């Protein structure tokens, strides 16, 4: 009997979605089911398959995987990148076609498809001179709420490879997955603005040999059931093994897979900054309260309740005044605050990004275009700065107020009769997020920030320091009564969990 050889390596992965996700379908493929269900017409709907199910294209994941492999400094051979040519060509071909990559990623689907209700998010470009909304630059997105679990299946062809390879294809996949266990994987539309941040939560591996030629593939099983490969395991007589070592406190003796390559020399590293914005009573150094700081950021009108009864107890309880007064229809705001799928307020990453960009443009214009990207001219540059939304600290209470406003005649100081309006202000809560600055390492000093990145970091910290001094307003009505919150920030060493001593207002 001939000796068995490597055949296929299969990875069965669980991804945890940490932020909202926009997969960005083309308009002509615009998830008609979603548009009908929500009576909406968004500029960029999320992608769905022919049955109306939410999914992430396997090609998107493959592109992210190869991109991350390059950033980690891993060798990507032609038969992995898809740049290997076939050995022969037809008479009408100038050269042989490209061969398929050894790595094949099936489309990804959420574990609880039926439980997901998509949300809508509005965005507007900010005028860099005024800091106000740019005229005609309003657009909206359909997004998948955060905290979803996604199944991912990766098939790696291990047949017919030379023995002297620098890195086998399955080892490359395993190493990238190990990196994504502790670092974010960015997928979908606008990750720089806080969409599509994932981490690998779990990964199981199955290494098949030529002994299992008739066990896999099995066309009697739909591709989507590969995430639960019971029949395959029964036929092959193998068991799934964990790619990662179990926690130290676990009773399991499982060790980390030998496929994972250690001692990497990454070409790209990340600098992490944890930030928070806090609203509430403003106290002086002696503890005397002299003001109340809140903010207002409006949500999409498609999701706004029509009155307080429709808003529900989960929201209205946070607007309790402590008296016997009950909110009425006349107290309902003309524009409701932005909220997540749990009906809690949050600060969108686009809002944080816009405020920081405007401040950096004012004080460090050279660094602004490299930090936040530049879409103008022939030298367009994408951003290397990723900012997550600022969400309520776990178990942190929040409180809102209904503010009645009116427009005033500038000559008589009288009230315009038809210009009364209401809005909501969030006046208690701590909202936390992350900022990631990605950069190329210097070959000679990989553990030191390159000079250009040091300048970018300093420009960003100067803007955050303004916030630490309550000089960086956010949201609407900044010059009336809103947005002057207390910012906090903590800078971490690149790609470690060890914090430096650089802390803002701690």
Name the token pair of 248: 């130290």
**How confident is the model over 85-94, as a mean pLDDT?**
66
Do 140 and 165 have their domain in common? Answer: no
Same domain? For 299 and 397 the reply is yes
Give the pLDDT confidence score for residue 70 in this predicted structure. Answer: 95
Write the DSSP symbol of residue 245.
Answer: P
Q: Specify if 38 maps to a domain.
A: yes
| Model pLDDT, residue 29 | 45
Report whether pLDDT(28) > 50. Answer: no
Q: Which two tokens stand for residue 228?
A: 């639960």
Extract the runs of DSSP E, i.e. beta strands, from 111-235: 119-126, 133-143, 149-157, 185-186, 197-209
Q: Phi then psi for 269, rounded to 5 degrees? A: -125, 175
More confident residue, 298 or 408: 298
Q: Cα(88)–Cα(417) distance, rounded to whole angstroms?
A: 81
Task: Using the 3D structure, point to which of 209, 244, 263 is the last residue of a domain.
Answer: 263
Contact 109, 23 (CB under 8 A): no
Instruction: State which of 232, 263, 294 marks the end of a domain.
Output: 263
Give how many domains the chain has, as a whole number: 3
- Regarding whether 208 and 127 lie in a shared domain, the answer is no
Tokens of 382: 């994408």
Query: Is residue 137's pLDDT more than 90?
Result: no
Is 367 in the same domain as 417? yes
Q: pLDDT digits over 304-332, tens only?
A: 888 888 888 889 899 987 788 888 888 88
Residues 371 and 477 in one domain: yes
Residue pLDDT, tens place only, 332-346: 888 899 999 999 999
pLDDT at 257 over 90: no
Mean local confidence (pLDDT), 22-49: 63
Does residue 200 sit in the same domain as residue 253?
Answer: yes
Q: 158 and 133 in one domain? A: no
Mean pLDDT (the chain) is 84
Average pLDDT of span 376-396 = 83
Look at residue 376 and tell me if it is in a domain: yes
Residues in the chain, overall count: 506
Domain co-membership, 136 together with 160: no
Looking at the fold, whether 30 and 14 belong to one and the same domain comes out as: no
pLDDT tens-place string over residues 104-129: 999 999 998 888 999 999 887 766 66
Please tell me the predicted confidence (pLDDT) of residue 275.
97
Do 38 and 78 share a domain, yes or no?
no
Closest C-alpha among 345, 505, 504, 306 to residue 424: 345
pTM for this prediction: 0.88
Question: Do 93 and 156 lie in a common domain?
Answer: yes
List the domain range (segments joined by +) for residue 480. Answer: 269-504
In the predicted structure, residue 502 carries a pLDDT above the cut 90? no
Q: Which of 263, 282, 308 is the last residue of a domain?
A: 263
């Amino acid at each position: 009997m001939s000796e068995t050889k490597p055949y296929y390596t299969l990875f069965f992965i669980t991804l945890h979605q940490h932020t909202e996700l926009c997969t960005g379908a083309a308009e002509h493929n615009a998830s008609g089911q979603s548009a009908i269900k929500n009576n909406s017409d968004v500029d960029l709907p999320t992608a769905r398959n022919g049955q109306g199910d939410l999914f992430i294209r396997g090609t998107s994941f493959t592109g992210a995987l190869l991109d991350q492999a390059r950033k980690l400094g891993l060798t990507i051979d032609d038969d992995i990148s898809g740049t290997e040519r076939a050995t022969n060509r037809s008479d009408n071909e100038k050269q042989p076609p490209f061969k398929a990559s050894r790595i094949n990623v099936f489309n990804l689907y959420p574990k609880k498809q039926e439980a997901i209700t998509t949300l809508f998010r509005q965005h507007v470009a900010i005028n860099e001179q005024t800091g106000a909304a740019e005229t005609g630059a309003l657009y909206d997105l359909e997004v998948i709420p955060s905290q979803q679990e996604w199944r991912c299946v990766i098939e790696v062809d291990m047949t017919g490879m030379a023995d002297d390879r620098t890195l086998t294809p399955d080892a490359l996949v395993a190493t990238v997955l190990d990196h994504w266990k502790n670092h974010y994987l960015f997928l979908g539309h606008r990750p720089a603005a806080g969409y599509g941040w994932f981490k690998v939560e779990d990964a199981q591996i199955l290494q098949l040999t030529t002994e299992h030629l008739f066990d896999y593939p099995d066309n009697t099983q739909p591709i989507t059931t590969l995430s639960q490969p019971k029949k395959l395991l029964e036929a092959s007589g193998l068991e799934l093994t964990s790619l990662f070592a179990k926690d130290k406190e676990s009773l399991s003796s499982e060790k980390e897979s030998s496929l994972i390559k250690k001692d990497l020399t990454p070409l790209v590293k990340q600098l992490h900054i944890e930030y928070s914005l806090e609203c509430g009573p403003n106290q002086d150094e002696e503890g005397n309260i002299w003001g109340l700081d809140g903010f207002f950021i409006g949500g999409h009108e498609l999701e706004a309740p029509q009155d307080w009864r429709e808003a529900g107890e989960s929201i209205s309880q946070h607007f309790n005044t402590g008296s016997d007064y009950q909110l009425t229809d006349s107290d309902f705001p003309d524009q409701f605050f932005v909220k997540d799928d749990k009906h809690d307020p949050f600060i969108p990453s686009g809002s944080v990004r816009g405020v920081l960009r405007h401040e950096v443009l004012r004080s460090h214009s050279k660094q602004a275009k490299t930090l936040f990207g530049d879409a103008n001219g022939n030298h367009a540059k994408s951003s290397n700065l990723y900012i997550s939304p600022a969400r309520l600290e776990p178990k942190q209470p929040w409180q809102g107020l209904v503010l009645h406003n009116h427009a005033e005649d500038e000559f008589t100081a009288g009230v315009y009769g038809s210009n009364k309006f209401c809005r909501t202000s969030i006046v208690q809560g701590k909202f936390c997020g992350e900022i990631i600055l990605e950069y190329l390492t210097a070959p000679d000093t990989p553990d030191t920030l390159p000079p250009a990145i040091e300048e970018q970091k300093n420009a960003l910290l100067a803007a955050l320091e303004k916030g630490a001094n309550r000089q960086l307003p956010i949201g609407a009505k900044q010059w009336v009564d809103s947005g002057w919150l207390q910012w906090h920030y903590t800078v971490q060493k690149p790609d470690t969990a060890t914090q430096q001593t650089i802390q803002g207002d701690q």
